[in-house]
Amino acid sequence: MATASSTAPDLAWTKKISSPQELAPYRRALIESMDPDAPRIRVCCGTGCKAVGSLEVLEAMKTAVAAAGADVHVMPEVKRTGCHGFCSRGPLLTLEPQGLFYQRVKPEDAVEIVQKTVVAGEVIQRFLYKPPGAKEAIAKVGDIPFFAKQTKLVLKRVGRIDPFDIRDAIAEGAYEGLAKVLAGMTPQQVIEEIKISRLRGRGGAGFPTGIKWESCAGQPGRHYVICNGDEGDPGAFMDASVMEGDPHAVLEGMAIAAYAMGSDRGFLYVRMEYPLAVQTLAAAIRQAEDLGLMGQNIMGTDFSFRTSISTGAGAFVCGESSALMSSLEGKVGRPRAKYIRSTEKGFRDSPSNLNNVETYANVPGIILRGGQWYTTYGTERSAGTKVFSLTGNVHNVGLVEVPMGTSLREIVFGIGGGIPNKKQLKAVQTGGPSGGCIPIPGKFIDINVGFGKLAEIGSMMGSGGMIVMDENTCMVEVSRYFINFLVEESCGQCTPCREGLTRMREILTRITGGEGREGDIELLEEIGQFTNSFSLCGLGTSAANPVLSTIRYFREEYEAHIRGKKCPAGVCKPLYYYEIDPEKCTGCGVCRKRCPAEAIEGEKKKPHTIHQELCIKCMECYRNCKFDSIRIM
């Protein structure tokens, strides 16, 4: 097979798949047509790698491979793929058959990689990943702890296939679950299998998927199947990576759900901030319809399912199910009271089933290998795996899929590689803006991550954002940040959420501004409990979590702000200043050059000083000093 193009593949040579039994031979033919000996170079083109220039690397690799055509026996295949997960090391390449992992590759390295590694089989040391603290670099993907310690069920094809070529996905097993369903399962059997798997909604609430499907299927009228791709939590990008890297898993899951509930119409609601996901999904739908895997009379059966994409318009609250459905109808996205469930009366007042991207992506595997198989992963109450987006102050930022019940220690240190710059771990924030901050050191480091456990300690699972915070994070400021976010995003229809959040922001801004008063903490607790108790929707009833959880675990930090007028972490501007330690300063001049306010002066190789009246406290010097000589006072 020649160099794969990154645009839509030409499917003209194929005919529609006309029965569920035809998919397996089609897959075999596809696999046979691919040369098993051909070297494969996979270039990660997820959002993170794209931001650091992976598309240029992709083009350069293609050019270099084409130029080396005469030197190789088999033409290597260069393909763009979705997110490999290891986003902080981008742009990333994996090279087969050796299974090599190259990181931080630049376009100008392409010729060297093709000549040395692809043609001569030599490993280039400088592209290899070296874990923090290790002496030896690691060559193979499978040996890197970040990858080796994960269990990939949802992400199994993400990063392996070209998301713009359906043949790649089919060769790796896409639509086999749907074929199995159409070949001889009744809708009731499908629902039973999902119930056996104990799959719970991955969007945050953790409602059992099988029970939701069953209650929706039992309603009269036209049914709708909706996918929630409105991943609004800042710091979370797992759904984006699934949609961008393996859109067919989502479509197949939706089609199976539609079959189980007797629906013929689906919608994908995707955030407008994810333009790449919209492109991959649109291409995937078109190609699947061309092959007869979606649309009218799927695989020659009586089952039809048409689906289309709607984009959001920048409203966090639209991730809430009833608000999302209202937005799909072209209205403002305000949640409604849930005395009637959406499965009864949702979109267009008809029975509607709404699940998250990751939930649907779990479905094909469960159908194919059985619900029982799925329960072998995870814990009693939380079966299967969960994808987390690990971000913040941690070495290995990226996507991590682990069985439910994995400990925070394993995720942050085992997979995440610990905290950079010799800093101490302070807290982990889970559950998005309305989740909670969990203090880690000593206390909860060995807690097993699952739906029940996180709620017990005052946080929540949410959709899977996991933000690691080091000692330089001010918990009062973090809680002000989240409350400020929620004030902006509150839809404003119910008073506890609208007014409660605004008042909490007022108080928190006062505290971080150095004007905190005695009694502020108690007032925050009172308002917070009220907001959480009396708001209408899921956003409101969890809105005070960031405040309540930080007060619960970091009360002394609030007190330091209010009584001592100090910000121990050095974040709240009026409550600290920077100073250069003359003992440690080598006079390298990095801070002087980087300071945008020209507030630092000093001669070469002599200790520098900061002019406090000019300093804008942008942290640029502090972040970039290699000698740890800038102190927070």
Span interacting with another protein, options 193-201, 249-257, 314-322, 600-608, rule CB under 8 A: 314-322
Minimum separation from the CB atom of position 352 to another protein (A): 14
Q: Given candidates 26, 175, 374, 485, which one binds another protein under the rule CB under 8 A?
A: 485
Q: Which of residues 531-560 bind another protein (CB under 8 A)?
A: none
Beta-sheet strand order (sheet of 40-44): 77-81, 40-44, 93-96, 100-102
Q: Select 342 or 382, whichever has its Cβ closest to another protein.
A: 342
Per-residue b or e along 175-196, where b marks 16 or more CB atoms closer than 10 Å to that residue's CB = bbbbbbbbeebebeebbbbbbb
The DSSP line for 7-27 is S----TT-----SGGGHHHHH
Q: Select 20 or 159, whichever has its Cβ closest to another protein.
A: 159
Q: Given candidates 328, 428, 461, 501, which one binds another protein under the rule CB under 8 A?
A: 328
Residues 597-626: x/- map of binding to another protein (CB under 8 A)?
-------------------xxxxx--x---
**Phi-psi label, residue 330: left if phi above 0, alpha if psi -120 to 50, beta otherwise:** left
**CA dist list (Å): 458 to 325, 364, 439, 591:** 29, 33, 11, 40
Residues 217-236: x/- map of binding to another protein (CB under 8 A)?
--------------xxxxxx
Q: Select 103 or 532, whichever has its Cβ closest to another protein.
A: 103
Query: Which one, of 452, 233, 261, lies nearest residue 358 by Cα?
Result: 233
Q: How far apart are the C-alpha atoms of 246 and 277, rounded to whole Å?
A: 10
507 by Cβ neighbours in 10 Å (0-12 / 13-18 / 19+) ranks as buried
Q: Select 88 or 94, whichever has its Cβ closest to another protein.
A: 88
Minimum separation from the CB atom of position 27 to another protein (A): 32
Minimum separation from the CB atom of position 240 to another protein (A): 5
- Binding to another protein by residue 382, rule CB under 8 A? no
- Binding to another protein by residue 274, rule CB under 8 A? yes
Span interacting with another protein, options 30-38, 50-58, 285-293, 404-412, rule CB under 8 A: 50-58
Span interacting with another protein, options 5-13, 162-170, 201-209, 313-321, rule CB under 8 A: 313-321
Residues 69-88: x/- map of binding to another protein (CB under 8 A)?
------------------xx
Q: Given candidates 22, 56, 96, 273, which one binds another protein under the rule CB under 8 A?
A: 273
Contact partners, residue 436, CB within 8 Å, separation at least 6: 429, 430, 457, 458, 459, 460, 545, 546, 548, 549, 550
H-run or E-run covering 631: strand 630-632
Contact partners, residue 280, CB within 8 Å, separation at least 6: 82, 163, 164, 243, 244, 245, 247
- Binding to another protein by residue 512, rule CB under 8 A? no
Q: Given candidates 9, 204, 295, 333, which one binds another protein under the rule CB under 8 A?
A: 333
Q: Select 366 or 397, whichever has its Cβ closest to another protein.
A: 397
Q: Given candidates 125, 583, 596, 598, which one binds another protein under the rule CB under 8 A?
A: 596
Q: Given candidates 292, 392, 403, 414, which one binds another protein under the rule CB under 8 A?
A: 392
Number of other CB atoms surrounding residue 248 within 10 Å: 29
Query: Which one, of 627, 585, 581, lies nearest residue 604 by Cα?
Result: 585
Minimum separation from the CB atom of position 49 to another protein (A): 9
Q: How far apart are the C-alpha atoms of 155 and 159, rounded to whole Å?
A: 8
Q: How far apart are the C-alpha atoms of 348 and 328, rounded to whole Å?
A: 9
- Kindly give the interhelix angle for 238-245 and 247-261, rounded to the nearest 10 degrees: 90
Half-sphere exposure of 555 (CA within 13 A, CB side): 9
Q: How far apart are the first and last CA of the chain?
A: 63
Q: Which phi and psi (to 5°) does residue 436 adopt?
A: -135, 165
Q: Select 167 or 395, whichever has its Cβ closest to another protein.
A: 395
The pair of three-digit structure tokens given for residue 36, joined into one six-digit string: 């098993």
Contacts with another protein by CB under 8 A: the residue count is 58
Q: Select 153 or 276, whichever has its Cβ closest to another protein.
A: 276
Q: How far apart are the C-alpha atoms of 477 and 410, rounded to whole Å?
A: 28
Minimum separation from the CB atom of position 490 to another protein (A): 11
The residues binding another protein (CB under 8 A) are 47-48, 50-52, 87-88, 90, 231-237, 240, 272-274, 310-316, 327-333, 389, 391-393, 397-398, 429, 433, 465, 467, 469, 473, 481-482, 485, 488, 491, 594, 596, 616-620, 623
